[in-house]
Amino acid sequence: MKGFSFPIFKTKQEEGEKFQLEDPVQRRKYFDCKAGVEIEKLRVFLEQGNTFVGFLLGPKNSGKGTYTKLFMEAVGAERVAHISVGDIVRSIDADARNPTKKAALVAFLGRRYRGFIAFDKIIEVLAGRDTTTLVPTEVILALVEREIERLGRKAVFVDGFPRNLDQVSYSLYFRTLIGYRDDPDFFVFINVPEIIIDERMRSRVVCGSCQSPRNLKLLRTKEIGYDEGKKEFYLLCDNPSCEGFGKNRMVAKEGDELGIEAIRERIEVDKKVMEVLMDLQGVPKIFLRNAVPVEVASEYIDDYEITPAYRYEWDGELNKVRVIEESWVVEDDDGLPSYSLLPAAVAVSLIKQTAQVLGL
């Protein structure tokens, strides 16, 4: 994002082990090695019944969900939750078609909703039958509150709120509105160069059975296939609990070939919201940076924290696919050649800074 210089968070070790960050067992060791002290402090904080509200702010597809899931993996999923406002609103669409669930929803909104738009109208909007009216913020707040009640008392990362400038001022009082009166809250700003978002979208693929997301270029599976007819390489699902394990050809979603331009409008709104909140005083801020300029990388990060890129060649003689791993250098939004950090490295920065803003 132009105009913002986020500090680079140092995760480099003077000397140490190397870790395979795609492997859950190694990743556990990596987290303990690089942020063990902070993880322990956060665990104690949460075990004592404390919570927090962290607002994730970053452009669409900047990895908000991934970073939170890794935070939960490191600190403990039983006391931390990720709330996606978009998912909540979408799930209401299904609820509204089920008579029992719809009745429960209507009863809940009847108790909690205060706003200017008539009640029947809201149900229409939520059910997706009226696509011209936006879901009012008052309704979103009520729905988030319902989700928080359902989750029980946990620390939460909120993804998708504030979604636009009209919701910004609500976010300042959000913790009061959802009943977390004295809990600390903070903003998590995520900076990812556009070119990285673009590549993530263009090369992403999913398994048709288990929906596991992967990336042909940036996050491969173990087994790669080659289609001789189409002269195309493809990933084979490697989720052990999937019925298509080792055989399902992972496929791209329609529209992804357009990359970031397909979501340009959303990206610009997300940036604007970040820009406004960046100037806000009185709420602690966490800065996550996905890209590190090549020229200073060796000072700040370890080699194995860098996202590699893969390409493939077909070896006709051996009758198999050759995988070539290369370092991936992209220009960040200021034009500086940069590396992209693997998600676990960004999560370490999130863990350390969260402990810091909570004063642990």
Residues interacting with Zn ion, by CB under 5 A? Answer: 207, 209-210, 237, 239, 242, 244
List for the chain the helix, strand, coil content (%; round to 5).
40, 20, 40
Q: Is the dihedral of CA 169, 173, 178, 184 positive or negative?
A: positive
Distance from C-alpha of 256 to C-alpha of 6, rounded to nearest angstrom:
29
> Residue 84 is inside which H or E element, if any?
strand 80-84
Which residue's CB is nearer to Zn ion, number 128 or number 244?
244
Of the two residues 81 and 207, which places its CB atom closer to Zn ion in the complex?
Answer: 207
Q: At what angle do helices 343-357 and 24-47 cross, to 10 degrees?
A: 10
Residue 236: CB minimum distance to Zn ion, A: 9
Closer to Zn ion by Cβ: residue 8 or 236? 236
Q: How far is the CB of 242 from Zn ion (least distance, A)?
A: 3
Contact between 333 and 193 under an 8 Å Cβ cutoff? The reply is: yes
Identify which of residues 46 and 206 has a Cβ nearer to Zn ion in the complex: 206
| Sign for the pseudo-dihedral over CA of 171, 173, 177, 181 | positive
Tell me how far, at minimum, the Cβ of 225 lies from Zn ion, in Å. 14
Q: Please report where in the chains the tokens 């800074």 appear, as a residue.
A: 353
Q: Does 308 sit behind a cis peptide bond, omega within 30 degrees of 0 on the bond before it?
A: no
Of the pair 190, 237, the CB lying nearest Zn ion is at 237
DSSP 295-330: HHHHHH--GGGBPEEEEEEEETTTTEEEEEEEE--E
Residue 238 beta carbon to Zn ion: minimum distance, rounded to whole angstroms: 8
Q: What is the DSSP letter of 17?
A: -
b/e burial code for range 149-185 (CB count within 10 A of at least 16 → b): eeeeebbbbbbbbbbeeebbeebeebbebbebeebbb
Taking the least distance from each CB to Zn ion, the nearer of 220 and 271 is 220
Q: How far is the CB of 294 from Zn ion (least distance, A)?
A: 35
Return the number of the residue (80 or 207) whose C-beta is nearest Zn ion: 207
Query: C-beta of 159: minimal distance to Zn ion in Å?
Result: 24
Report, in Å, the least distance between residue 211 CB and Zn ion. 7
Q: Which residues contact 94 (CB under 8 A, 6 or more apart)?
A: 101
Q: Assess contact for 180 and 110: CB atoms under 8 A.
A: no
Query: What Rg, from alpha-carbon coordinates, does the chain have?
Result: 22
Q: Find the angle CA(53)-CA(23)-CA(65) to the nearest 5 degrees.
A: 25
State in angstroms the smallest separation of the CB of 25 from Zn ion: 21
CB of 237 to Zn ion, least distance (A): 3
- Residue number with CB closer to Zn ion (129 or 247): 247
Residue with tokens 């919570």: 51
| Closest by CA position to 321, among listed 244, 225, 256, 229 | 225
Q: Which is nearer to Zn ion, 115 or 244 (CB)?
A: 244
User: How many angstroms separate the CA atoms of 359 and 40, rounded?
Assistant: 14
What minimum distance in Å lies between the beta carbon of 134 and Zn ion? 35
Strands 204-206 and 320-327: unpaired
Q: Given the complex with Zn ion, which of 242 and 294 has the nearer CB atom? A: 242
